[in-house]
Amino acid sequence: MGIEQAIKEAILNEAKRIGIEEGKAEGELKVQKENVFGMFAEGLPIDAIVRITKLPLATIQAWQKEI
């Protein structure tokens, strides 16, 4: 394998790694959001949701507007 091919493969592997990390992060965020929506549905107050999830208040408030 030549140096150019090795560089291309290294770049491709790094791009794949970054894509996987971004996909995991998006998935985790989706789960957190679903959990927060469930907490709202159960009638939990926003301060309890912030305390339980450890998410920023602004994030919880933004998601609350989506409901």
Digitized pLDDT (tens) for each residue of the chain, 67 residues in all: 799 999 999 999 999 999 999 999 999 999 999 999 999 999 999 999 999 999 999 999 999 999 8
User: What pLDDT does residue 32 have?
Assistant: 97
Quote the domain boundaries for residue 9. 3-66
Look-up: residue for tokens 């939990």? 44
User: What pLDDT does residue 40 have?
Assistant: 97
Give the distance, in angstroms, between the CA of residue 38 and the centroid of all CA atoms in the same chain: 17
Cα atoms in the 13 Å half-sphere on the side-chain side of 48: 8
Q: How many domains does the chain have?
A: 1
45 membership: H or E segment, kind and range: none
Nearest Cα residue to 61 out of 42, 36, 32, 24:
36
User: What pLDDT does residue 1 have?
Assistant: 72
This prediction's pTM: 0.76
User: What pLDDT does residue 67 have?
Assistant: 85
Question: What are the structure tokens assigned to 55, written together?
Answer: 């998410």
CA distance 18 to 38: 30
